[in-house]
Amino acid sequence: MKARIVSFRRSRRRQNTKQVILKVENVDSKDKTKDLIGKEMIWKSPSGKEIKGKVSNFHGNSGAVRVILSKGVPGQAIGEEVELK
């Protein structure tokens, strides 16, 4: 399943680079995100390294999900596609 990194999880004054928000294809409501909780996300860097994370919960009402990562991703990862397994 394909998804896109939309943003880091953040507050007004700081951002958490170990948590990202994903927008998943063909998911447009909070109810459809319940099947995604617990799935693994993999982001591949241009050099071939992989950073893995796990879907923890939904984010908002439009079908976005929150992912907790093992390591932080760089800012260049925002807008790129990732794979959900």
pLDDT of residue 82: 94
Task: Indicate the CATH number for domain 2-84.
Answer: 2.40.10.190
30-52: string of b/e by CB count within 10 Å (b at 16+)?
A: eeebeebeebebebeeeeeeebe
Each domain of the chain, given as residue ranges in start order, spans 2-84
Query: Residue 74, class by beta-carbon neighbours within 10 Å (0-12 exposed, 13-18 middle, 19+ buried)?
Result: exposed
Q: What is the pTM of this model?
A: 0.87
CA 12 to CA 30: how far, in whole Å? 24
| Region 19-30 average pLDDT | 92
| Region 23-47 average pLDDT | 92
Query: Residue 63, class by beta-carbon neighbours within 10 Å (0-12 exposed, 13-18 middle, 19+ buried)?
Result: buried
| Region 34-57 average pLDDT | 93
Q: With a cut of 90, say whether residue 9 has pLDDT above it.
A: yes
Q: With a cut of 90, say whether residue 1 has pLDDT above it.
A: no
